[in-house]
Amino acid sequence: MDFKPDFERIRKTARHEEPDRVPLVEALIDYSIQSQFLGREVTPDDLESQVEFWMKAGYDFIPLTVGMMQPGKVTKESKISKVIREVMLADSPDADLDEAWNLEITSFIKTREDFEKFPWEVAAELDFESFHKAKDLLPEGMKVVALSGKIFTLTWMLMGFNHFATSLIIDEQLVADVFKRVAEIQFGGLEQIFEMPHIAAIWVVDDLAFGNGPMISPQAFRDHVFPWYEEMARRCHEKDRLFFMHSDGDLNPLMEDIIGIGVDLIQPIDPTCMDIVKFKEMFGDRICLAGNVANELLRSGTPSEVEAVVKELIENVAPGGGFCLGSGNSVPDWAKFDNYMAMRNTVLKYGSYPIHTD
């Protein structure tokens, strides 16, 4: 069955209107899942096949990354990893060892001197090649969503979380300066994004919380993180772009701030620690929700169990608009393909407005 992409479907949903059907939304679907869907290998360099997958699978956009870190785990291909390996560790025989460059293992900014020596100018050289190529590949109605952000995550990773948290107390200016440099690089990318009309939204992917609440105090977020995202949202709306945000964890203590800074869509309403039905009752009239089929269910459940959960979400969260369906984080390589298909197929079968799932 062919599905015509139409990003206006997502715009209507974000305005809390009911479009023709519940939109499907993901920030990341592993290439192995895309390959199984198309019946041939899809690689990171094969943009044409990627566009074909997102279109045929029923999505209204293709997500493409611009920035220093890609969604998901830290990889050698991330911009920041290349900067560390090719510039900071250029003369080191250990440059290719994970423990030397991987920001999940090591860190690089401990002092003011480290901050001054960091190759910020090289890190700011962002690659927009895939965005330009996508323009000529997109079918009518389909858009690009630019994945950016990680202002919070990249800052604490560069410093190491324990040192970052301590510095918030004993050297707050150093932390503020790292935030500023990371944010300025993202804002530099925004200006180029706004010149491309086929990019319809910015999606900041930046985990702010653990399962039991925010990773730092709400006040620290207000002082150092949210002002940057508020300005990003303002610029997006000024240029008629939507502004999405991803964060795992329990966001309840931060939601008034997230709504206040102008986020249009929040994903995934982490199913491991939040009840999306209650969440919609509390916040759903002011922000669009996306998610929240648990990744553990996609890994270990059965297609019938996935179908039941998706139907329940459609019944309880979709009426009135303001809801896009997707995973509880992303669709990784360890998700069962049959379960991914069950999630997708159930939305396309039962997600038409007005909602009737019987």
Task: Determine the pLDDT at residue 69.
Answer: 55
Domain membership of residue 117 (yes or no) is no
216: pLDDT strictly greater than 70: yes
Task: Determine the pLDDT at residue 126.
Answer: 85
Distances (CA, A) of 261 to 144, 236, 295: 23, 12, 28
Strands 61-65 and 143-148: parallel
Chain segment 73-101, per-residue pLDDT in tens = 555 556 666 666 565 565 666 656 665 55
**Whole-angstrom distance, CA of residue 81 vs CA of residue 85:** 6
Copy the structure tokens of residue 111. 């002092």
Domain membership of residue 20 (yes or no) is yes
Across all residues in the chain, what is the average pLDDT?
A: 91
Higher-pLDDT residue of 66 and 42 is: 42
**Whole-angstrom distance, CA of residue 190 vs CA of residue 171:** 30
State the greatest distance between any 2 C-alpha atoms of the chain, in Å, as a whole number. Answer: 64
CB of 149 within 8 A of CB of 186?
yes
Return the minimum-mean-pLDDT range out of 143-157, 197-211, 282-296.
143-157
**Whole-angstrom distance, CA of residue 113 vs CA of residue 267:** 37
Domain membership of residue 80 (yes or no) is no
Match 């949202």 to its residue by tokens.
233
Task: Name which of 199, 39, 191 is nearest 133 in CA terms.
Answer: 199
Strands 213-214 and 209-210: antiparallel
Task: Determine the pLDDT at residue 122.
Answer: 83
Q: Which helix (H) or strand (E) holds 147?
A: strand 143-148
Helix axes 172-193, 226-238, angle to 10 degrees: 10
Task: Determine the pLDDT at residue 124.
Answer: 82
Residue type, 270: D
Q: Which domain holds residue 66?
A: 8-73+126-350
- Give bridge partners of residue 218 from the DSSP assignment: none
Copy the structure tokens of residue 140. 């009518």
Domain membership of residue 177 (yes or no) is yes
Q: What are phi and psi of 189, to 5 degrees?
A: -65, -35
Domain membership of residue 191 (yes or no) is yes
Distances (CA, A) of 71 to 29, 249, 271, 329, 347: 10, 16, 19, 10, 24
Q: Which helix (H) or strand (E) holds 115?
A: helix 112-117
Contacts of 243 (CB under 8 A, 6+ apart): 201, 202, 204, 232, 233, 236, 237, 262, 263, 264, 265
104: pLDDT strictly greater than 80: no
Domain membership of residue 99 (yes or no) is no
Match 């086929």 to its residue by tokens.
198
**Whole-angstrom distance, CA of residue 199 vs CA of residue 205:** 16
For the segment 93-118, the average pLDDT, to the nearest whole number, is 75
Return the minimum-mean-pLDDT range out of 103-107, 113-117, 227-231.
103-107
Task: Determine the pLDDT at residue 119.
Answer: 86
Task: Determine the pLDDT at residue 67.
Answer: 64
Higher-pLDDT residue of 202 and 102 is: 202
Domain membership of residue 207 (yes or no) is yes
CB of 316 within 8 A of CB of 357?
no
Task: Determine the pLDDT at residue 322.
Answer: 98
For the segment 295-316, the average pLDDT, to the nearest whole number, is 98
Confidence bin at 357 (pLDDT 50/70/90): confident
Domain count, the chain: 1
Domain membership of residue 112 (yes or no) is no
Return the minimum-mean-pLDDT range out of 179-188, 212-221, 307-316.
179-188
CATH number reported for the structural domain that contains residue 234 in this entry: 3.20.20.210
**In the chain, % of residues over pLDDT 70:** 88
Task: Determine the pLDDT at residue 89.
Answer: 61
Taking only Cα atoms into account, the Rg of the chain, rounded to an integer number of angstroms, comes to 20
Would you list the DSSP string of 248-284? -S--GGGHHHHHHTT-SEEE---TTT--HHHHHHHHT
Chain segment 15-60, per-residue pLDDT in tens = 999 999 999 999 999 999 999 999 999 999 999 999 999 999 999 9
Confidence bin at 355 (pLDDT 50/70/90): very high
CB of 255 within 8 A of CB of 234?
no
**Whole-angstrom distance, CA of residue 241 vs CA of residue 49:** 26
Identify the three-state secondary structure at position 191: helix
Task: Determine the pLDDT at residue 72.
Answer: 54
Copy the structure tokens of residue 130. 């895939």
